Chain A
């Protein structure tokens, strides 16, 4: 009588363990967005919360593009923040529609501008970036990262994250690594 009971208990225990493991895996996958990618932070962008300054306004030309109407939370770019300037390049963060957040780059010298908007959840496991391929095949990569990220590195070049943004120039290769003091993420910028 004792042995079958023990066996039954063992089987029940094994079933509970298995169910527990399956439940934990399911919850973990749901929380991670179905991937095993490393997460840093919550996807929040502190730069968007700071007090506004006169220099935060986007150029009128950028606001005139259809992109602004399609993506920005407000057509006139209300809430935009200047993240970083480097030479003639200026980077802005802009609140987007339906939970998106946008990165806009303006190069006064080159007469170019670009922008990209993605769901804020992208910032938990990576970066909202733009990579510009130069005539010599190298790339300039600009990126928006969530709070907690402190550096970006690619092709042996390491740059600090400043106001949730980074700029990497003359990059060859298809990966950028971004990270905090305790964790790293890999962003695939290849085609």
Chain B
């Protein structure tokens, strides 16, 4: 099961799924005309970052569920233009 957990996120804000799980999949979706910088990452309740992936436009990262983590995603557009992250999703 894949869970959507964030929608319509403004530029340079990050979204977080506050419930920690042994995540295996994260996805960020701007939309069909994507081209802005984006980032997906996970953080353990103790604050350690894992599976940090930055990319261009819509992106996903899947991995073994090694860590008990919260999922985060961000629009990292350096221009500060107005566009939104339509969806952030995760799976565990």
Q: Annotate A103-139 by CB proximity to B: 1 below 8 A, 0 otherwise.
A: 0000000111111111101100011111111000000
Do residues A118 and B58 form an inter-chain contact, with CB atoms below 8 A?
yes
Do residues A118 and B60 form an inter-chain contact, with CB atoms below 8 A?
no
How close is A28's CB to chain B, nearest CB, in angstroms? 19
Interface size in chain A (residues, C-beta < 8 A):
33
Q: Annotate B29-57 by CB proximity to A: 1 below 8 A, 0 otherwise.
A: 10011110111010000000100111111
Q: Which residues from chain B contact A67 at a C-beta distance below 8 Å?
A: 27, 58-60
Inter-chain CA distance A90–B88, complex, in Å, is 25
Candidate in A61, A100, A117 with the most chain B CB atoms within 10 angstroms: A117
Do residues B54 and A131 form an inter-chain contact, with CB atoms below 8 A?
yes
How many Cβ-Cβ contacts under 8 Å join chain A to chain B?
Answer: 95
Do residues A118 and B34 form an inter-chain contact, with CB atoms below 8 A?
yes
Inter-chain CA distance A117–B34, complex, in Å, is 7
How close is A154's CB to chain B, nearest CB, in angstroms? 14
How close is B6's CB to chain A, nearest CB, in angstroms? 14
Say if the beta carbon of A164 comes within 8 Å of chain B: no
**18 pairs of residues in contact across A and B, judged by CB atoms under 8 Å:** A65-B60, A65-B62, A67-B60, A70-B58, A99-B32, A100-B33, A111-B64, A113-B62, A114-B53, A114-B59, A116-B58, A118-B34, A118-B56, A121-B35, A130-B53, A132-B52, A133-B52, A191-B76
Residue of B with least CB distance to A62: B62
Q: Which residues from chain A contact B61 at a C-beta distance below 8 Å?
A: 112-114
Inter-chain CA distance A100–B33, complex, in Å, is 7
Checking B27, B34, B37 against A66 with a beta-carbon cut-off of 8 angstroms, the contacting residue is B27
Complex A-B, nearest 6 residue pairs according to Cβ-Cβ distance, in ascending order = A118-B57, A133-B52, A116-B55, A98-B32, A67-B60, A116-B59
Do residues A116 and B63 form an inter-chain contact, with CB atoms below 8 A?
no
Do residues A66 and B57 form an inter-chain contact, with CB atoms below 8 A?
no
How close is B12's CB to chain A, nearest CB, in angstroms? 10
Q: Which residues from chain A contact B37 at a C-beta distance below 8 Å?
A: 188
**Would you list which residues of chain A between 72 and 117 have a CB under 8 Å from chain B?**
97-100, 110-117
Q: Which residues from chain A contact B73 at a C-beta distance below 8 Å?
A: none
Q: Which residues from chain A contact B27 at a C-beta distance below 8 Å?
A: 65-67, 70
Inter-chain CA distance A116–B38, complex, in Å, is 10
Q: Which residues from chain A contact B89 at a C-beta distance below 8 Å?
A: 66
